[in-house]
Amino acid sequence: MAQHSTHSGLLAARRQFFSAGERPTGLVPNVILESWQRCAALGLAARHHPEVEPLGPSALHELQDRYDSLRRLCRPELEALHASARAAGAIAILTGPDGLVLDAVGHAAFLDKAARVSLRPGVPWSEGATGTNAIGTALVERRAVEVRGGEHYFEPHRILSCSAAPILDPFGRLAGVLDLSGEASVHHVHALGMVQLAVAQIEHRLIDEVRADRELLRLHSDPALLGTSLEGVLMFEGHRLVAANRYALALLGLDWSELGRRRYDELFSGAMPKPGTDATVRDHFGNELHARRQGRPAARGIGVPPPSPPSRFVPTRAPQPVLDADLDAQLARAVRVLNADIPVLLQGETGTGKEVFARELHRRSARGDKPFVAINCAALPESLIESELFGYAPGAFTGARREGSSGLLREADGGVLFLDELGDMPLALQSRLLRVLQEREVTALGSSRATPIDFALIAASHHDLAQAVEAQAFRADLYYRIAQSCIRLPPLRERADLGGLVGDIWNSLGAPSAGLFLGDDARDALASCAWPGNFRQLVGVLRTLIALADPGTTIGRDMLPTPVLGAPKAQPSAAASAPATTGVAPLADIACDAMRKALSETGGNTSEAARRLGVSRSTLYRRLRSSG
């Protein structure tokens, strides 16, 4: 592709093309010129504003719901792009596969300016609707594209400099587009590279979204890049290639049309590596590649027949992690922290999903294909904690196994250790754990030999460990060692999106596939409950409803268990809501007044109001909803 146009060259190119009807060869990149020609063939008038009509609020909400899974998947990268480009005043944009903008986050001042040229949610940015632009042209070209200033087809878009890359699913289908747009007067040197890297990370996670029971082969010429978003990934079903990412296709010189047609032995010489192993393979060109094979996630033993289909649907699988935008962003940051070998501490009430969060953190981390060892420190008898954690030598104590035990800490070697309810670990053992974390070696009971170990640590507790330190119920030195990055998982009663959350969990349990539906009245009733047991209680109730319902049933409010309906969310007491007698306004009223003032001063612009208040937009939305 040619270099981007100089200012004088671009002016000359626009005169030749739009005024003289000539082809300005060499003055603009070929990808821009070809796009101009497509737009001209559609009869688009370059000097006018494009005739686009944004979706109304209801239609936009329906559109965003339809692409909810894509939005959730891309949210960490969208936020990270915004954070990286904040200083340049840019905005990050996600569109669907048709170019309709789903989300736009970024600099408040530029968001307002972008809105004036319709660069906002609910507006189509395909070439046919909005002329030459990075989003629409990337959709046509199926590759990353930059469109700067006057390279845009429509003259009003000259204020923009845009970099976009299409998101392709593992079957080669367009899933959406990620875009970074800013002022044309500011040169965004690394914008396209940043977008491409973000898309690589999204596509890498998309593989796991569609994996089902298929086998994966991860490839790269550099073994250090296996397990990263830059690796090639091939997906096999019965040794037939059924899906891949673009890095793998480039490594092997293939294109998307060969999915479903090629077998492993046509692509590589020799047998496929054994599941769970790293190996060296040679492709059909004779090139040596490093490979890592992952077997089927839930394969049955040879000769074991599949279970007979039940007459009534029973939700046997656990629900997938359901994270709002705030928690998903925290998860993305936690992945970076864990990959840097920094412990992560999860705090939250019982049932808020600490282990689910930890497993998702492990899955997304660089150690995702290594062991995840979960230990509930509250469930182990105090007399056995030491031997279970650290292992023991043969004959270390009466009743010990003859061959000894390696211990759970050594089982986590290379992977992730999850210490649940760490606050319940006896003080005497806390000092031994601290030593292991500092020295990175473990000594079994009855042995004098230390064994080096390497694991990333995630700790969790429903106790407030900082308060436990003050009460001398938890070692301060251990707390400061594990609490370098803390994440609080909110209880369900604090989730402003509880109605949508109920629906998401219902879907993740597989109920719609069995023809079971949750009525609006039932969902609203469930969303109004206190849920003292949090996710654990809610999931249990939903699983029970699914197990008892006949196919084709729509669950109504009258079908909900009475104990659940009898536990509404706690309402503020009269004493709590009354003005303070000291003459000082309650904190909630002060916060409410500050929000009203910020919204009034910004003319209702929530992004600018949030910036002035020093909170995120999602926090402001949540506070606004809770205050009515």
Q: What is the CATH number of the domain that holds 545?
A: 1.10.8.60
**Quick check: is 334 in a domain?**
no
CB atoms within 10 A of CB 450: 13
The domain containing residue 151 runs over which residues?
57-207
Instruction: State the Cα–Cα distance between residues 83 and 13, nearest whole angstrom.
Output: 35
Residues 105 and 215 both lie in one domain: no
- φ and ψ at 311, to 5 degrees? -75, -25
Instruction: State the Cα–Cα distance between residues 434 and 475, nearest whole angstrom.
Output: 9
Residues 151 and 265 both lie in one domain: no
The three-state secondary structure class of 128 is helix
Give residue 585's pLDDT. 37
Are residues 254 and 233 in contact, defined by beta-carbon separation less than 8 angstroms? Answer: no
Give residue 418's pLDDT. 92
Are residues 218 and 291 in contact, defined by beta-carbon separation less than 8 angstroms? Answer: yes
Give 107's DSSP letter. Answer: -
Instruction: State the Cα–Cα distance between residues 455 and 367, nearest whole angstrom.
Output: 9
Chunked into runs of 10 residues, the chain (628 residues) has average pLDDT values of: 63 88 85 91 85 83 88 88 74 91 75 63 88 93 91 88 93 92 78 89 86 84 85 89 91 86 87 86 87 66 36 45 74 92 92 88 89 79 66 61 70 89 84 85 79 91 91 90 91 85 80 76 88 86 83 82 60 37 41 68 69 57 58
Q: What is the CATH number of the domain that holds 459?
A: 3.40.50.300
If we measure between CA atoms, which residue out of 473, 456, 243, 251 comes closest to residue 342? 456
Interhelix angle for 606-613 vs 617-626, to 10°? Answer: 100
**Quick check: is 173 in a domain?**
yes
Give residue 584's pLDDT. 33
Instruction: Return all residues near 472 (Cβ < 8 A) that are at least 6 apart.
Output: none
Residues 106 and 174 both lie in one domain: yes
Residues 498 and 471 both lie in one domain: no
Type of residue at 192: L
Give residue 108's pLDDT. 53
**Quick check: is 16 in a domain?**
no
Give residue 311's pLDDT. 38
CB burial of residue 268 (10 Å; 0-12, 13-18, 19+): buried
**Quick check: is 322 in a domain?**
no
Are residues 427 and 465 in contact, defined by beta-carbon separation less than 8 angstroms? Answer: no
Instruction: Return all residues near 115 (Cβ < 8 A) that are at least 6 apart.
Output: none
**Quick check: is 2 in a domain?**
no
Residues 439 and 540 both lie in one domain: no
Give residue 564's pLDDT. 64
420: β partners: 376
Residues 67 and 202 both lie in one domain: yes
Residues 130 and 227 both lie in one domain: no
If we measure between CA atoms, which residue out of 290, 180, 172 comes closest to residue 231? 290
Residues 262 and 162 both lie in one domain: no
Instruction: State the Cα–Cα distance between residues 260 and 263, nearest whole angstrom.
Output: 8
Interhelix angle for 606-613 vs 587-601, to 10°? Answer: 130
Annotate 436-496 with DSSP letters as a single string: HHHH-EEE-BT---EEE---EEEEEESS-HHHHHHTTSS-HHHHHHH-SSEEEPPPGGG-T
Give residue 351's pLDDT. 85
Q: How far is CA 35 from CA 127, 134, 151, 316, in A?
A: 8, 10, 10, 51
End-of-domain residue from the set 453, 488, 523: 488
**Quick check: is 332 in a domain?**
no
Return the H-helix or E-strand segment holding 417.
strand 416-420
**Quick check: is 30 in a domain?**
no
Q: What is the CATH number of the domain that holds 609?
A: 1.10.10.60
Give residue 327's pLDDT. 83
The three-state secondary structure class of 278 is strand
Instruction: State the Cα–Cα distance between residues 375 and 389, nearest whole angstrom.
Output: 9
Listed in order, strand segments (DSSP E) in 123-247 are: 145-148, 160-168, 174-183, 215-220, 232-237, 240-244
Residues 534 and 604 both lie in one domain: no
End-of-domain residue from the set 488, 513, 529: 488
Number of domains in the chain: 5
**Quick check: is 118 in a domain?**
yes
Give residue 301's pLDDT. 35
End-of-domain residue from the set 460, 488, 516: 488
Q: What is the CATH number of the domain that holds 89?
A: 3.30.450.40
Residues 544 and 474 both lie in one domain: no
If we measure between CA atoms, which residue out of 506, 511, 499, 507 comes closest to residue 549? 511
Virtual torsion, Cα 417, 421, 422, 426, nearest 10 deg: -130
Give residue 449's pLDDT. 81
Give residue 624's pLDDT. 65
Instruction: State the Cα–Cα distance between residues 8 and 364, nearest whole angstrom.
Output: 47
Return the H-helix or E-strand segment holding 281.
strand 278-283
Give residue 80's pLDDT. 84
Residues 146 and 218 both lie in one domain: no
157-161, long-range: CB < 8 A, 24+ apart: 157/117, 157/130, 157/131, 157/133, 158/184, 159/113, 159/117, 159/183, 159/184, 160/114, 160/117, 160/119, 160/133, 160/184, 161/186, 161/187, 161/188, 161/191
Virtual torsion, Cα 474, 480, 486, 491, nearest 10 deg: 10
Residues 84 and 203 both lie in one domain: yes
